[in-house]
Amino acid sequence: MANREAPVSESKLQNPHLTSWVDELARLCKPDRVHWCDGSEGERQRLTALAVSSGVLLPLDPAQYPNSFLHRSNPNDVARSEQLTFICSKNQADAGPTNNWMSPAEAYAKLGKLFDGSMRGRTLYVIPYVMGPPGSEFAKVGVELTDSVYVALSMRLMTRMGSEALEALGSSADFNHGLHCTGDLSPERRFICHFPEDNAVWSFGSGYGGNALLGKKCLALRIASYLGRREGWLAEHMLILGAEDPEGRTTYVAAAFPSACGKTNFAMMVPPARFKGWKLWTVGDDIAWLHVRPDGKLWAVNPERGYFGVAPGTSLKSNPNAMKSVSHDALFTNVAMTKEGGVWWEGMDGDPPDELIDWQGRPWKKGSPEKAAQPNSRFTVAASNNPACSPHLDDPHGVPISALIFGGRRSSTVPLVLQSFNWAHGVFLGATMASETTAAAGGKLGELRRDPMAMRPFCGYNVGDYMQHWLDMQRRMVAPPKIFQVNWFRRDKEGALLWPGYGENMRVLKWIIDRVAGTLNARETPFGWVPHPGQLDLTGLDIAPERVEQAMAVRDDELRADLESLAPFFADLGDRLPEALSFQRHLLLSRAR
Ligand code: GTP
Ligand code: SPV
Ligand code: MN
């Protein structure tokens, strides 16, 4: 399809639902131009040139970082805004206690005023996109209308965007209706509103990732979780990874860790030398759509086709596959820039350069107490850049999942690894997961909060109903995945991490794979199955065995206190708290004395 600058009414598009909706919102937002994105390489080049000439993107040194650019966002707009994110269901109770709620009528009226005339002097980009593998029965189409060229270029990396999405949509009216405007970025005029019952999202006043790329958290998690409950599947904040053993057998796992708690790193993990002959494949690093297929197993597709990953902490040592992925055709957001036009962030290999331009464009000197890169600075790249990208990324059926893993950021209490007794106990472990807050969302850092299945900010309906839906999924499966809990972040009394993490997490994954295969016994505790002492393969790991023991310890007093502290969280769920989870808590408490 040719690049179109013509008003929609002159376009030759065949889908009247789409054209009349675009016309209606163009009349509201009043852009000077409407550009229908076709997703072509030529279009990418034209939009990139435009973004560079308007200062939205800074070109990086093409010798070091071919085809790569830096974007600096407004300093008040560097992370998801959970306080300004709303679920606009007809009934407030359907949004539940973990979501902000606004009535649909109020939200449409309030945001309608903000959108009115908001794109004067600007271009409205029409971005048709598909979430999910091409031709998959599980894929969903969305269309995002935005005035941000950064969003258009990011959506091209993160989704299957342009002509192929229009073809997938055909003449159907079944698509997510997304409207986004950057506005003046004032937090007083920032709202990210979801209308699950209308399959629509209106986002105003932020240009940042999860607030503005509507295919990601808005459609693929909040709206999709709502659709999943209605249609009998699950939309989850999970990475998907395949571990191929030296005999060529691949075990697939999906893991839910809250934002900035290690999904991208685990999904791209390179195993230590001890695991010679193993190959790890990344299917996805953030979102999994889980469906039961006719074989009675749970299968996962990654609805995305790119990564929007945390930059700080990413190095050749911690995540070599990510470093290779960002070496060309990458968009960076809020990282620091070197004098030579390269990028830098805290935790990158080697010493920091003597001088940098920090994420806000200011000069920065080595030894400065300020961070050069914003703690939630990110890279955006196509998944195909990853040397470990799974060939099943485009598989319409996805991959069969043998284990589900839940992991929060917990300085204490939660052991390195624990296997649930059964599905309901596993759902309990996920539903009661807690994690210390990170820079991925605005608000305080390091506060412990309950984050059910790492979905607290992303569940598009009542979280109690969501937990019940998880419990109900068991009946649809003949071979449900085994459920595990992990914690890479336990600390000693001095505050030092007990477990080295990153690639060494392979040692824990190997135990999980062996447990799933049924080739390994385990130790039963009142709280679940854990490795026998000495059972975890630590060959070649340069760390005192006592520290690993401390990381793995199951301490009755700590776990009992944690179960007791669940009371107010469960009380908040009121009559939507599944009975099975309430009983699980009492059962565990009764055994923990
Ligand atoms: P979102 O994209 O926000 O959903 O984050 P994510 O879950 O993909 O987290 P990511 O893998 O980007 O890691 C976030 C931060 O945690 C980075 O600074 C990592 O360096 C750090 N991290 C990741 N894995 C580990 C680990 O195993 N141990 C420790 N100590 N830190 C880790
Ligand atoms: C997260 O915060 O979980 C992310 C980044 O993956 S964002 O797309 O901004 O939500
Ligand atoms: Mn995420």
Q: Which domains does the chain have, with CATH numbers?
A: 3-36+76-231 (3.40.449.10), 235-305+393-591 (3.90.228.20), 308-377 (2.170.8.10)
Question: Which atom of ligand 1 is least distant from the CA of 237?
Answer: 4
Query: What is the DSSP code (8-state) at residue 532?
Result: P
Catalytic-residue membership of 193:
no
CA angle 61, 320, 71 (to 5 degrees): 35
Tens-level pLDDT at each residue, the chain (593 residues): 334 444 444 344 689 999 999 999 999 999 999 999 999 999 999 999 999 999 999 999 999 999 999 999 999 999 999 999 999 999 999 999 999 999 999 999 999 999 999 999 999 999 999 999 999 999 999 999 999 999 999 999 999 999 999 999 999 999 999 999 999 999 999 999 999 999 999 999 999 999 999 999 999 999 999 999 999 999 999 999 999 999 999 999 999 999 999 999 999 999 999 999 999 999 999 999 999 999 999 999 999 999 999 999 999 999 999 999 999 999 999 999 999 999 999 999 999 999 999 999 999 999 999 999 999 999 999 999 999 999 999 999 999 999 999 999 999 999 999 999 999 999 999 999 999 999 999 999 999 999 999 999 999 999 999 999 999 999 999 999 999 999 999 999 999 999 999 999 999 999 999 999 999 999 999 999 999 999 999 999 999 999 999 999 999 999 999 999 999 999 999 999 999 999 999 999 998 87
What was the pLDDT predicted at 10? 39
What was the pLDDT predicted at 7? 44
Decide whether any atom of ligand 2 lies within 6 Å of the 210 Cβ.
yes
Distance (Å, whole) CA 276 – CA 555: 34
Testing ligand 2's pocket by substitution, the residue of 221, 239, 308 carrying the most ligand atoms inside 8 A of its CB is 308
Distance (Å, whole) CA 322 – CA 558: 36
pTM exceeds 0.95, yes or no: yes
CB atoms within 10 A of CB 491: 15
Instruction: Output the CA 236–ligand 2 centroid distance in Å.
Output: 13
Decide whether any atom of ligand 2 lies within 6 Å of the 202 Cβ.
no
Distance (Å, whole) CA 499 – CA 218: 34
What is the 3 state secondary structure string of 249-271?
CEEEEEEECCCCCCHHHHHCCCC
Pairing of strands 191-195, 200-204: antiparallel
Instruction: Output the CA 261–ligand 1 centroid distance in Å.
Output: 4
Q: Which of 29, 218, 261, 459 is catalytic?
A: 261
Three-class SS state of 488? coil
Number of H helices, E strands in the chain: 16, 31
Q: In which residue are the tokens 């990396």 written? A: 157
What was the pLDDT predicted at 13? 62
For ligand 1, residues with CB inside 6 Å are 257, 259-265, 285-286, 309-310, 312-313, 318, 440, 488-489, 497, 501-502, 505
Q: What is the phi/psi pair of residue 480, to 5°?
A: -65, 150
Residue 220 makes CB contacts below 8 A (sequence gap 6+) with 131, 140, 235, 287, 289, 303, 304
The strand pairing partners of 284, in sequence order, are 240
Helix ranges (H only) for 213-360 are: 224-231, 263-267, 320-325
- In angstroms, what is the C-alpha Rg of the chain? 23
Nearest CA to ligand 2 atom 5: 210
Testing ligand 1's pocket by substitution, the residue of 257, 259, 265 carrying the most ligand atoms inside 8 A of its CB is 265
Decide whether any atom of ligand 2 lies within 6 Å of the 456 Cβ.
no
Three-class SS state of 399? strand
Decide whether any atom of ligand 2 lies within 6 Å of the 308 Cβ.
yes
**Token pair of 457 as six digits:** 């900010």
Three-class SS state of 469? helix
Decide whether any atom of ligand 2 lies within 6 Å of the 284 Cβ.
no
